[in-house]
C-alpha cells in the first residue's frame, strides 16, 4: 500500500511544487497604468521592455490595432485591459479621419479649418491580443470649440481606479463607465475654451487629463473666462466643490501629493502655480513666473514637488512637500519652501521624469537635461538623435533603468537613465506619435496617429 501511495501521490506532489513555483514567479496581473503617465503621473513602468524593435518586420511587435479618428490621449492599463479614447469626424472630406500638423508651426495660431459633427468614443482592448472588447459612443455633435492644427478633440487621457473608467471630452462632458462599458454617469462641466494668454479669439482645444484619488475625481480646467479646479464624487459625479484659479488657459494635468500631514492637489500654471488642500480646496502655496503656455504635469517624490513650463520662460522648480505661502524666488531671495530652481532648463511640452535621484527634462526640441533632484546640479545636457529634426509633444517614460523618448515623427529613442548620457537605440514607429506611451509589465503601449501598438520581448 505504501508503494501504491507513493506512486499515486508523487505526480501530484510534483504538480503542486510546479504550481507553487509558477504562482510565485509569474505575474498574476499587469502592472496598473491608471492615468496619464501611469501611477500618480510618475512615468515609471515595471518589467523590461525591448531596447530595439522593428515595426515593418514585426520584430517585438506583439499586436497592432487600428484606432479610428484623431486623438492625442494616451492608453491606460488596468490588469489585462487597455482603455483609450478617440474623436471621429463624421462628415466632409475628412470623414473617419482628420488632418494633423506636426513640427514647428509659425503664423497666427489659427484653429484647424473643419466643420460638421464628430463622435467621441471610449474603447476597451485586451492587453494580450489587442482585440477590442467594447466600444462605447459617449457623445455625437458639432464640437463646441475648435482645435489647434496640432491638437485633437480627444486630448485628455482617461483614468481608472479598477472599478470606474472616466473620460473627459472637454466641453462635451465627463463620462464615467464601469469596466464592462456600462455608462454610470455623465456631467457637463461647462464651456472649456482653451486659448493662449492674450489671444481670447483663438481656440486650441482642452488637454488637462482627469485624475482619481481615494474616490475623488479631480479636474483642472484653466480656460477662457473662469479657470478652476474641481473635486467630484467618483460614484455619481456630484461636484463636491469648485475652486477658482484666476489663471489664463493652461494644458496641465494636476497631481496629488499625499503626505503625513496633508494631501495636496498641485496645479501647474502661468499666472499661478499653486497647491490646494484636497479636503476643502484651501490654497496652501503659490508660485509665479512661469511660461505663458504651460503644459507639463507636476511630478512628486516623497519630499519634493517638481514644476516646469517652457514657453517664453523655461524655469524648473523643486518645492518642499511641506511648503506654504508665497514661493516665488528672486535674485535676492529664496523662500524656505523652495529647495532649488533653475531659470533656463525647463521644458515646453513634455513632462519631466524622476528616476532615482535624477530629474530628466526632455524639451520639445529634443534636448535632454539631467539634473540632480536634491540640489539641482546639472549632470548633462545633450541633444538626442531625433532632436533638431523633429519636435516632441509626448512625455518620456521609463522602465528597467531606461528612458523612452517619443518624437512627433514617430522615432522613439532609448537612453540610459543615469548621470552620464548614453544613447542605446532609435526605433521608428512609421507614423505620427503625439501621445505619451504607457508601460505595463515590460510591454510598451504606443499610440500612433492611426494605430495602437503593443511592443514587448
Domain assignment of residue 7, yes or no: no
Domain assignment of residue 9, yes or no: no
Task: Give the lowest-confidence range in 3-17, 248-262, 263-277, 410-424.
Answer: 3-17
Domain assignment of residue 263, yes or no: yes
Q: Are 339 and 304 in contact (CB under 8 A)?
A: yes
List pLDDT tens digits, range 79-92: 999 999 999 999 76
Q: Which residue has the cell 509569474?
A: 26
Write down the pLDDT at residue 220: 98
Q: Which CATH number does the domain housing residue 82 bear?
A: 2.130.10.10
Expressed as residue numbers, the domain containing 147 is 30-455
Write down the pLDDT at residue 92: 63
pLDDT band at residue 13 under the 50/70/90 scheme:
very low
| Model pTM score | 0.92
More confident residue, 180 or 23: 180
147 — phi, psi (to 5°)? -125, 160
Task: Please state the domain count of the chain.
Answer: 1
Write down the pLDDT at residue 93: 58
Within 10 angstroms of residue 192's Cβ, the number of other Cβ atoms is 25
CA terminus-to-terminus distance, the chain: 49
Write down the pLDDT at residue 266: 98
Domain assignment of residue 416, yes or no: yes
Write down the pLDDT at residue 333: 86
Domain assignment of residue 88, yes or no: yes
Closest-CA residue to 273 (of 298, 244, 243, 242): 298
Residues facing residue 25 across a β-bridge: none
pLDDT band at residue 22 under the 50/70/90 scheme:
very low
Task: Give the lowest-confidence range in 127-136, 195-204, 256-265.
Answer: 195-204
* Percentage above 70 pLDDT, the chain: 92
Write down the pLDDT at residue 30: 58
Domain assignment of residue 19, yes or no: no
Domain assignment of residue 257, yes or no: yes
Concatenated DSSP letters for 4-19?
HHHHHHHHHHHHHHHH
Domain assignment of residue 2, yes or no: no
Distance CA 89, CA 70 (A): 8
pLDDT band at residue 449 under the 50/70/90 scheme:
very high
113 — phi, psi (to 5°)? -95, 105
* Percentage above 90 pLDDT, the chain: 82
Amino acid at each position: 500500500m505504501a508503494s501504491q501511495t507513493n506512486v499515486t501521490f508523487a505526480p501530484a506532489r510534483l504538480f503542486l511544487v510546479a504550481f507553487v513555483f509558477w504562482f510565485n514567479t509569474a505575474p498574476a496581473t499587469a502592472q496598473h497604468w491608471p492615468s496619464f503617465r501611469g501611477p500618480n503621473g510618475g512615468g515609471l513602468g515595471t518589467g523590461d521592455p525591448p531596447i530595439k524593435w522593428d515595426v515593418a518586420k514585426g520584430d517585438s511587435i506583439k499586436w497592432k490595432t487600428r484606432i479610428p479618428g484623431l486623438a492625442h490621449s494616451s492608453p491606460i492599463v488596468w490588469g489585462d485591459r487597455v482603455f483609450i479614447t478617440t474623436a471621429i469626424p463624421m462628415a466632409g472630406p475628412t470623414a473617419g479621419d482628420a488632418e494633423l500638423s506636426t513640427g514647428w508651426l509659425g503664423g497666427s495660431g489659427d484653429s484647424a479649418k473643419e466643420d460638421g459633427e464628430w463622435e467621441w468614443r471610449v474603447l476597451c482592448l485586451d492587453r494580450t491580443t489587442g482585440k477590442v472588447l467594447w466600444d462605447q459612443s459617449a457623445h455625437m455633435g458639432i464640437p463646441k470649440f475648435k482645435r489647434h492644427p496640432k491638437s485633437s478633440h480627444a486630448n485628455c487621457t482617461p483614468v481608472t481606479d479598477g472599478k470606474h473608467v472616466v473620460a473627459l471630452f472637454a466641453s462635451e462632458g465627463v463620462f464615467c463607465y464601469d469596466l464592462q462599458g456600462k455608462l454610470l454617469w455623465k456631467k457637463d462641466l461647462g464651456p472649456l475654451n482653451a486659448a493662449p494668454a492674450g489671444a481670447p479669439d483663438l481656440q486650441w482645444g482642452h488637454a488637462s487629463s482627469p485624475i482619481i484619488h481615494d474616490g475623488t475625481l479631480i479636474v483642472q480646467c484653466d480656460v477662457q473666462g473662469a479657470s478652476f479646479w474641481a473635486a467630484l464624487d467618483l460614484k455619481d459625479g456630484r461636484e463636491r466643490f469648485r475652486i477658482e484659479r484666476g489663471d489664463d488657459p493652461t494644458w496641465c494635468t494636476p497631481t496629488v501629493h499625499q503626505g503625513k500631514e496633508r494631501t495636496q492637489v498641485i496645479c501647474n500654471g502661468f499666472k499661478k502655480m499653486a497647491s490646494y488642500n484636497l479636503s476643502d480646496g484651501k490654497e496652501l502655496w503659490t508660485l509665479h513666473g512661469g511660461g505663458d503656455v504651460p503644459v507639463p504635469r507636476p511630478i512628486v517624490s516623497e519630499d519634493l514637488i517638481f514644476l516646469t513650463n517652457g514657453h517664453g520662460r523655461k524655469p524648473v522648480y523643486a518645492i518642499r512637500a511641506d511648503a506654504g505661502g508665497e514661493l516665488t524666488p528672486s535674485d535676492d531671495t529664496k523662500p524656505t519652501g523652495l529647495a532649488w530652481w533653475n531659470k533656463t532648463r525647463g521644458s515646453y511640452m513634455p513632462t519631466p521624469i524622476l528616476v532615482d535621484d535624477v530629474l530628466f527634462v526632455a524639451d520639445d526640441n529634443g534636448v535632454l537635461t539631467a539634473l540632480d533632484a536634491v540640489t539641482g546640479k546639472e549632470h548633462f545636457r545633450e541633444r538626442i538623435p531625433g532632436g533638431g529634426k523633429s519636435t516632441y509633444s509626448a512625455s518620456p517614460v521609463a522602465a528597467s533603468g531606461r528612458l523612452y523618448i517619443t518624437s512627433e515623427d514617430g522615432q522613439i529613442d532609448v537612453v540610459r537613465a543615469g548621470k552620464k548620457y548614453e544613447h542605446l537605440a532609435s526605433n521608428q514607429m512609421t507614423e505620427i506619435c503625439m501621445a505619451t506611451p504607457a508601460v505595463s509589465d515590460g510591454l510598451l503601449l504606443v499610440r500612433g496617429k492611426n494605430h495602437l501598438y503593443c511592443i514587448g520581448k
